[in-house]
Amino acid sequence: MTDDVAIERISLRSVDPVTGKRYHSLYKPAPSPEVLARLQFNPKDSETQLLPRLKEYWSNSSSLQAFYPEAVQINADQDPHIVSESLESCLVKPLSKPHDW
C-alpha cells in the first residue's frame, strides 16, 4: 500500500475507553455523537509519528523480503475487508486428500 493509505488507515483509528471497541473515522465510524465525543486517538498514530516508521519500513523492506522469501504479498491498497479476505485465503490452505491405503 502507499504511504498515504497507511497513514489514512492508522491515523483515523480510535478506541472507545468505555467499551473498548475500536472505530475508524472512514471505515467504521462511531455509532452515535456520545461515542464520538469520548473516542481516544493514540498519539503514536499521528502522521508526524508515522512518517519516520514508514521510512524505516521502506528502507528495510527488501531485507525483509529476502529473509522471508515465501511471504505472501497482497495489494493492501483495497478495501480493508477485501484485504482481510485475501490474506485469509492465502493463509488457509485446503486440506490434502486422505491417502487410500
Return the amino acid letter for 17: P
Per-domain boundaries in the chain: 3-91
Which cell goes with 93? 490452505
DSSP string over the chain: --HHHHHHHHHTEEE-TTT--EEETTTB--SSHHHHHH-B--GGGSHHHHHHHHHHHHHHHHHHHHH-TT------SS-HHHHHHHHHHHHSPPPPPPP--
Per-residue model confidence as pLDDT tens digits over 12-61: 999 999 999 999 999 999 999 999 999 999 999 999 999 999 999 999 99
Domain 3-91 has CATH 2.40.160.20: no
Average pLDDT over every residue of 66-94: 85
Q: Is pTM beyond 0.85 here?
A: no
Average pLDDT over every residue of 57-85: 89
pLDDT of residue 81: 87
Rg (CA), the chain: 18
